[in-house]
């Protein structure tokens, strides 16, 4: 059986900053005796990642001695910028500039944030390296069958090596439990509540409320965006201002069993 982590042509390894995609990167390094010349690792920072995520990306780069290209969206050509741990945005600047350019908010019906802040900057960066034609490794596990199916139905050259290798969440957690460093974010049932954007509107509503209760200042950026555009990220839940207000009370605002909405930012 062919090793699904073996690189055999121009490849973008999409590293979201979470444990799953980091494990995928580690498996790639093991299968190829390091990072092949035709492989490029990209991390797209929206400016709304938790600080622990940025530290984790840096730690992977240092511990594994691998080049990770930190990218951010820019409204002006070439529409991406190369940054690093020290210069990466931390106040949502790339995300806010995208919203200002679009003049409306991403939402459950138009989730352009993932495409414009992550996928497109990676494609443009790869093109700038002379790799217009390439495949992309994405960190989707075998125990995420709906995401795997949608990704494989996509016409883009996206490959899910973890799913092909039958890797599940328990495999990923077991790996990280044995490592000298780990992602230091709030984790429930093996999943980081702060993966991707800190208060992403696609997250489980009860988790959003708990994250706001934990650090109320997290809501400020999201409240400001909804206020400026005079709209909401998710019409199915209260505004971020309302959630902040409820977070100060003892009232249960959401059903704790309400599910998150599937997102393709990766973990």
Tens digits of per-residue pLDDT, 93-105? 999 999 999 999 9
> Are residues 234 and 164 part of one domain?
no
Is 68 exposed, middle or buried (CB count within 10 Å of its CB: 0-12, 13-18, 19+)?
A: buried
User: In angstroms, rounded to a whole number, what is the distance separating the alpha carbons of residues 165 and 115?
Assistant: 26
Q: Phi first, then psi: what are they for 41, rounded to 5°?
A: -95, 130
The per-residue pLDDT for 185 is 82
> Are residues 219 and 150 part of one domain?
no
pTM score, whole prediction: 0.90
Per-residue confidence band for 71, with pLDDT thresholds at 50, 70 and 90: very high
> Are residues 123 and 19 part of one domain?
yes
Give the residue from 108, 112, 77, 81 showing the smallest Cα distance to 94: 81
The DSSP call for residue 258 is: P
Q: How many CA atoms lie within 13 A of 219 on its CB side?
A: 23
Mean pLDDT (whole number) for 166-173: 96
pLDDT digits (tens, 9 = 90+) for 16-26: 999 999 999 99
Mean pLDDT (whole number) for 207-227: 95
Q: Is 253 domain-assigned?
A: no
The distance of Cα 43 from the centroid of its chain, to the nearest Å, equals: 8
User: Which residue range forms the structural domain that includes residue 223?
Assistant: 205-247
The per-residue pLDDT for 37 is 95
Q: Is 198 domain-assigned?
A: no
> Are residues 163 and 72 part of one domain?
yes
Count of domains forming the chain: 2
Query: What's the mean per-residue pLDDT of the chain?
Result: 91
> Are residues 171 and 95 part of one domain?
yes
């Amino acid at each position: 059986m062919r090793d699904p982590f073996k690189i055999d042509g121009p490849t973008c390894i999409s590293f979201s900053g979470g444990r799953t995609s980091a494990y995928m990167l580690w498996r790639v390094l093991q299968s190829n005796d390091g990072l092949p010349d035709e492989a490029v690792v990209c991390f797209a920072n929206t400016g709304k990642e938790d600080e622990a995520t940025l530290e984790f990306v840096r730690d992977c780069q240092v511990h594994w001695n691998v080049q990770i290209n930190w990218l951010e969206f820019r409204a002006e050509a070439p529409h991406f910028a190369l940054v690093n741990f020290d210069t990466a945005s931390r106040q949502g600047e790339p995300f806010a500039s995208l919203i200002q350019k679009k003049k409306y908010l991403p939402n459950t019906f138009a989730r352009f944030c993932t495409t414009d802040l992550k996928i497109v900057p990676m494609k443009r960066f790869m093109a700038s390296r002379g790799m217009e034609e390439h495949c992309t490794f994405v960190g989707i596990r075998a125990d995420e069958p709906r995401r795997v199916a949608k990704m494989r139905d996509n016409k883009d050259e996206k490959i899910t090596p973890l799913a092909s290798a039958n890797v599940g969440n328990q495999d990923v957690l077991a790996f990280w439990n044995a490592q000298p460093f780990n992602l230091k974010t709030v984790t429930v049932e093996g999943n980081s509540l702060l993966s991707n954007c800190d208060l992403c509107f696609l997250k489980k509503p009860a988790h959003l409320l708990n994250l706001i209760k934990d650090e109320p200042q997290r809501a400020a950026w999201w409240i400001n965006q909804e206020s400026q555009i005079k709209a909401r990220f998710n019409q199915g839940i209260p505004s971020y201002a309302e959630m902040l207000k409820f977070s100060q009370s003892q009232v249960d605002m959401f059903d704790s069993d309400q599910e998150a909405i599937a997102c393709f930012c990766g973990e």
